[in-house]
Amino acid sequence: MILLAVLVVLTGCTVDRPGEDAEAAPVAQVTIAPTAGATDVDPVAPVSVTVANGTIDQIALTNAGGKQITGQLSPDRTTYKVTEPLGYGATYTWAGTAVGADAKPIPIEATFTTISPQSTIPATINIGDGQEVGIAAPIILKFAGPVTNKAAVEKALTVTTDQGTEGSWAWLPDDGGSRVHWRPKNYWTPGTTVHVDAKLYGVDLGGGAYGDSDVTSDFTIGRSQIVIANAPSHRMQVVRDGATIFDFAVSYGEGNEPRNVTRSGVHIVTEKYEDFMMSNPPYYTNVRERWAVRISNNGEFIHANPESLSAQGSSNVTNGCINLSPGDAQAYFPTALYGDPVEVTGTSIELSQADGDVYDWTLDWPTWKSMSALPAE
């Protein structure tokens, strides 16, 4: 009888008593990024609310005017992420509720402020969406003011192609604002599709300035067309996809003084006009020229000039342009695309920075890469 009594007592000691030792259900833990009260927040930095031991019941981020900022709630309702850039110099407020595993609500409350730049600087790109360009076309990003934090800007720039094209950014001397060019190591492969993505909004450009907005472009490389321009030959060939489609008698710069030397080096076609008023004081002013294709910003064009017709094919007499007959110039004009290379050889002065804004192909590849703001890979 004594043994039985002990067994009953022991068994009685193992009986659970509901609620007596059970752990309490956990409360919701809310993490807000950026933290409550944060200032000088990057307007493109990640902004989110995350809940552990519970779920988000209601959530909203609004600006000072009451406008709700777009965001996305995760399927399990534990994370909410803002999906649009914020404004500069703005205050934002979180409001909402999280519910813990204990079924009790926890408020989601916080306020933060984004950075207020001294200024914002817009940028433009030289090639528009859907444009077809020549095989030597550089990508030019031009800023409306100075950029001192060049490395940060360059990290925000990407060029993607369907050909895996090797290329590099290079910072050229300011021209009314900073400018950065991208070109491939060699001429583009015809037919290449190119996407440029410059995520500049929110980037610290230096000197208190920030990026004004993002810039993108999607364009295509056209056929291969190269102008072969050898000054001593007094001729100019147009080579399309490896075949010579034109072989014109021309006249180059007279070359008896620096001002009228047609520069040697790889120029590119930048613009063209059926009619163009040319001036080169004191030598001539407002002379109407036809079928004018610009190849540099120092005044060099490929254009028609009846006045030099007798010299075309036999001597060089121009002020630096490449003169053709009206008929030949008219035949060449419609074939020219922005970015077509014009390879001039046989003159006494090389194309350089002094001749305008596009002298990219006069620089060898190691030199070009050294002009990037980022370390070589």
As a whole number of angstroms, the distance between CA 107 and CA 96 comes to 6
Positions annotated as catalytic residues are 303, 321
Say if residues 293 and 336 touch (Cβ distance below 8 Å). yes
As a whole number of angstroms, the distance between CA 159 and CA 217 comes to 10
**The residue type at 81:** K
209-211/119-121 β-pairing: parallel
